[in-house]
Chains A and B, each alone.
Chain A
Amino acid sequence: MADLIIDAFSSQTRLRDMIRAIRACKTAAEERAVVRKECAVIRASISENDQDYRHRNLAKLMFIHMLGYPTHFGQMECLKSIASAGFPEKRIGYLGLMLLLDERQEVLMLVTNSLKQDLNHSNPYIVGLALCALGNICSAEMARDLAPEVEKLFQSRDPNIRKKAALCSVRIIKKVPDLAENFMSPAATLLKEKHHGAMIAGVQLCTDLCKVSLEALEYFRKKSTEGLVKALKERVNSPYTPEYDISGISDPFLHIRLLRLLRVLGQGDADASDCMNDILAQVATKTETNKNAGTAILYECVETIMSIEDNSGLRVLAINILGRFLSNRDNNIRYVALNMLMRAIAVDAQAVQRHRITILECVKDSDASIRKRALELIFLLVNENNVKPLTKELIDYLQVSDQEFKGDLTEKICSIVEKFSMEKIWYIDKMLKVLSEAGNFVKDEIWHALIVVISNASDLQGYTVRSLYRAFQTSSEQESLIRVAVWCIGEYGEMLVNNVGMLEKEDPLTQVTESDAVDILEAAIKRHTSDITTRALSLVALLKLSSRFPSCSKRISDIITEHKGSFVLELQQRSIEFNSIIDKHQNIRSTLLERMPVLDEASYNSKRKSGSLPPTTSAPTGASPKLPNGVVKSPVAPIADLLDLSSDDAPVPSSSGGDFLPDLLGGSLTSLPSLTGTGQAPSNGTDILMDLLSIGTPTTQNDVSTSDLLSTNHNNTPSGTPLERLSPPSPFSPQVSTPTATTPVMDLLDGFSPTLSNKKNSTDLHFSGNNGPVYPSIIAFQSSSLKIEFSFSKQPENLQSTLINATFTNMSSNVYTDFIFQAAVPKFIQLHLDPASGNTLPASGNGSVGQSLRVTNSQHGQKHLAMRIRVAYKVNNKDVLEQGQISNFPPGL
């Protein structure tokens, strides 16, 4: 007869056989075939509504589901199985329900009715099945519908039903916190249970009730705190109970849950905290910790001590326990110690500091989880006193750390160095170290920020460029190191060659020749791993050096020429344009390629904080003037572009050398029509440059974007564009330039200036607003060595004209001779400079020189006044040049 039954099943394979068949498959394709066949049989059986095989079909589907195949067609079978009367069907049906469905499926709602019936079933095991299913997957709707049934089950005589009902309620109140109220009193009753399961479930329910409802928290605090303390005491002192014993401790799970609930109750309540002090101290001192179970209890206890209201004695105890954990050999224990110390910082940072050395060791652990925790902890422990040794340790470790950890480590080090950069030289030193060790992991914004800082640290530029030169020799594989090195050599190459600004601590570099510097750039551009950003930066740097290193001019030109055929449009365009500048425009080259003006640190930092670059806002393009400030302004665009280049979403499509040139040329071109007088400007040169622009670039677009950028810049809007943020609004620090460079610049400016007085030029000014009789004086320009103040007056009958009285004060301790002030304005403004009251500025602000300027704003009321200035003078017979842009004119001029 038994055979007959087996026969009845023979139309299908048995579950066991299916599993065997699947396990026997050698390839994924074979497995798929077996599964497909099985699924076909199951589907057929389902459509025949075959009840005999339902049990087996569901079991098979679950197995198939675990392998990752779709089994949605079995969902209805689960519901049918649950709805049938027998226990075996219900058991497998509920299991299938929990496995094959999740709470987001509509089908789930259909089971609500069956659940309701089963919750009221006379068989406690069926009630248990229903509670388990409800607790594991119920949705908010089901929770609402079935909560009354579950609530009734708290009265059940069977403790196993009560415990299941309690945990099921945990899910219900998480889904529908409004229902919390209904469960408060039944939960409180469970806390007095003798049955461990029921009590554990009750404690859990209370904990979750406190989390969702303040009312519940108050209720349990008043009603149950003492009872819980007593229960924990009983646990701690309980004799050996084999049923619950885990490595010598009776039911550590219950210990832990009780401690957790006490923590919730004690947090923010001094009375409740007071009530539990004794027992916490007892747990903290008496728990055996040679086994994991004991450690788990102690860990929970420490967390409770840290969270409840202050008791300094207990906290000392807790921190000491953590210290012991930290020196444990077991990685798990060290991990949790680090985890907990992180929370302990908020309570007692000083105590955590004591373990700094050990924590630092953990950063170097072989276990990634521990390293990560320790690094985060160290990051929180850094302060002004320990930042230097800690940073040194971390950077040292960077050299030997795993590749996959370097990213995290680098990010944290950079973050620390930036946060605590009290001395620029320290910041630069550390950043260069990080770049040399892990430059490939340094994010773009980090090295951008470094460049901004270098550009501001005029006394460290020589040192920096020499350090970078050295670093390049040893770490030429680190992309961002190369970028920074290339940029600095391009800007400060002559400091490298001439050993300018040598610091005392610095080792003298063996003489670097101009050709050595160019070698670096050539290596950077030719490295096969260099990406487009690095190559583009190298091209700009080469161009810049071409004017400063006359001896290498030919070689640079050759290197640039090589890239004329580059398949990367960006590089091709740059090389072609740069090549023209080198070959055809010797006379303006040095001016074009001057050093970049100092980047504004504050605005760069605020930009970094506010997130990525905002999109360039375009003003109406036709009307906006091309501001003829190319000469001074030019390098701003490349840096903007340089900083943008690596981000994929650079706002200006032509962000490239394209920006750079039109900007340069925009300046020269617009002033061209008014070219007069003493100008020896190379007018044909400008024409060629104009041609040059149209090679391979959509000129108009470039022009538009440039002028947009510039005009917004001059409008001095508070939000500002990327360019404005990058370019300094007014203060410039002094820049030393060689005498040879100065003269052509001045000539050039003269040539281009629309209105000329002797050795004075004008560039941009804007006017707007109405006249007012009184305008506040401004400090137009201030550096460490020089201050320029402007005061204004206006004739009421002629709103367009403004008389500016400039006062120059020497802030340094040396006398300035041959002092010359120059100004430039946009072409809609006319400028007339009267002779200055003198050309010698006494030292230390003892006296000043005055000069009056008359500006006429032809677009008064529409445009603001803006001006670029340049001051040349001699200190101890050395030429000094300072320059700046004034955009803080009072409105209405």
Chain B
Amino acid sequence: MIHFVLLISRQGKVRLTKWYSPYSQKERTKVIRELSGVILTRVPKLCNFVEWRGFKVVYKRYASLYFCMCIDQEDNELEILEIIHHYVEILDRYFGSVCELDLIFNFHKAYYILDEILIAGELQETSKKTVARLVAAQDLMVETAKEEASSISNIIAQATK
């Protein structure tokens, strides 16, 4: 099971945190600080796994961002690397060659996508196409609702002119 997902920039800024196991706010801060200390200092070409508090943290760096997932001792580390890559590819398709800035200004989108890939710390969907379709459909619903709202406010505005 994946206990949490972290996206940390090379400068140690948190870009996304998702917790599937209960960690209090205080613990969360501590975990992030501890792990960024360990992971950001690892030089390239080392293995992508760090043993930490009896768990394993699988991380992978894409450009300036580190994608980290914390798993149990008996989980398959290599598979988690594939899950990370799966997520990154979906992000890439969604944003069109994703960069850190996309994830900063549209952080909620990154969460929505993650929620279509993982639930309860387990993999939910292995088809990138399906994930993209589901996210797009929901985005569309939001857009439609917004347009409706604005057209209503137009009507109100015109009526009250």
Contact = CB atoms under 8 A, between A and B. Distances in A.
A135 B119 contact: yes
Nearest to A295: B78
A5 B79 contact: no
Contacts of A196: 125-127
B119 A252 contact: no
A67 B122 CA distance: 26
B119 A131 contact: yes
A240 interface: no
A293 B79 CA distance: 7
Interface in A179-202: 196-197, 200-201
Contacts of A86: 145
Contacts of A334: 47
B47 A367 contact: yes
Given A4-B157, A332-B47, A366-B46, A168 B119 contact: yes
Given A1-B154, A1-B157, A19-B104, A104 B46 contact: no
A352 interface: no
Given A201-B124, A244-B127, A300-B76, A372 B83 contact: no
A244 B14 contact: no
A506 B61 CA distance: 56
B34 to A, nearest CB: 14
Interface in B7-64: 14-20, 22-25, 29, 45-51
A88 B108 CA distance: 12
Nearest to B146: A88
The residue in B46, B124, B134 that gathers the most chain A C-beta atoms within 10 A of its C-beta is B124
B124 A299 contact: no
Interface string B49-93: 111000000000000000000000000111101110010000000
A160 B22 CA distance: 26
Given A62-B108, A164-B119, A243-B129, A369 B145 contact: no
B79 A252 contact: yes
A168 to B, nearest CB: 6
A332 B49 contact: yes
B146 A296 contact: no
A718 interface: no
B19 A125 contact: no
A5 B127 contact: no
A256 B83 CA distance: 12
Contacts of A367: 46-47
Nearest to A68: B29
A5 B150 contact: yes
Nearest to B138: A125
B138 A200 contact: no
A422 to B, nearest CB: 33
Interface string A236-277: 000000011010000111101100100000000000000000
The residue in B119, B126, B137 that gathers the most chain A C-beta atoms within 10 A of its C-beta is B119
B95 interface: no
The residue in B47, B51, B146 that gathers the most chain A C-beta atoms within 10 A of its C-beta is B47
Contacts of A167: 119-120, 122, 124
A132 interface: yes
B115 A132 contact: yes
B97 interface: no
Nearest to A169: B120
Interface string B107-135: 11001100100011011111111100010
A292 interface: yes
Interface in A318-363: 331-336, 339
A335 B77 contact: yes
Contacts of B124: 163-164, 167, 197, 200-201
Interface in A802-841: none
Interface stretch (A95-103, A508-516, A698-706): A95-103
B142 interface: yes
Interface size classification for chain B: 35 or more
A663 B117 CA distance: 73
A331 B127 contact: no
B157 to A, nearest CB: 6
A369 B49 contact: yes
A121 to B, nearest CB: 13
Contact of A331 (B24, B45, B76): B45
A26 interface: no
A163 B122 CA distance: 11
Given A68-B29, A293-B82, A136 B119 contact: yes
Contacts of B77: 332, 335-336, 339
Contact of A87 (B23, B127, B142): B142
Contacts, number: 166
A59 interface: yes
A663 B50 CA distance: 53
Contacts of B19: 102
B141 interface: yes
A296 B108 contact: no
A171 interface: yes
Nearest to A296: B78
Given A66-B107, A86-B145, A253 B82 contact: yes
A505 interface: no
A204 B121 CA distance: 11
A204 to B, nearest CB: 5
B126 A372 contact: no
A331 B138 contact: no
The residue in A163, A253, A336 that gathers the most chain B C-beta atoms within 10 A of its C-beta is A253
Nearest to A94: B115
B108 A369 contact: no
Interface in A129-144: 131-132, 135-136
Contacts of B17: 66, 99
Contacts of A454: none
A16 B105 contact: yes
Contacts of A125: 134, 137-138, 141
A170 to B, nearest CB: 5
A104 B24 contact: yes
Given A102-B23, A299-B76, A300-B79, A251 B126 contact: yes
A91 B138 CA distance: 9
A292 B123 contact: no
Contact of B14 (A67, A95, A299): A67
A134 to B, nearest CB: 9
B105 to A, nearest CB: 6
B105 A332 contact: no
A345 to B, nearest CB: 16
The residue in B25, B79, B146 that gathers the most chain A C-beta atoms within 10 A of its C-beta is B79
Interface string A687-700: 00000000000000
B120 A136 contact: yes
A196 B129 CA distance: 12
B51 to A, nearest CB: 6
A163 B157 CA distance: 45
Contacts of A160: 125, 130, 134
9 contacts: A5-B153, A86-B145, A87-B141, A91-B142, A92-B108, A102-B19, A168-B120, A200-B124, A292-B82
Nearest 9 A/B pairs, CB to CB: A296-B78, A331-B47, A167-B119, A171-B120, A135-B120, A135-B119, A367-B46, A197-B125, A88-B142
Given A8-B153, A372-B51, 19 more contacts: A88-B142, A91-B142, A103-B22, A125-B138, A160-B125, A168-B120, A201-B124, A254-B126, A256-B76, A295-B78, A299-B76, A331-B46, A335-B47, A366-B46, A367-B47, A368-B46, A369-B46, A369-B47, A369-B51
Interface of B: 14-20, 22-25, 29, 45-51, 76-79, 81-83, 86, 104-105, 107-108, 111-112, 115, 119-120, 122-130, 134, 137-138, 141-142, 145-146, 150, 153-154, 157
Interface of A: 1, 4-5, 8, 16, 19, 23, 59, 62-63, 66-68, 70, 86-88, 91-92, 95, 98-99, 102-104, 125, 128, 131-132, 135-136, 160, 163-164, 167-168, 170-171, 196-197, 200-201, 204, 243-244, 246, 251-254, 256-257, 260, 292-293, 295-296, 299-300, 303, 331-336, 339, 366-370, 372
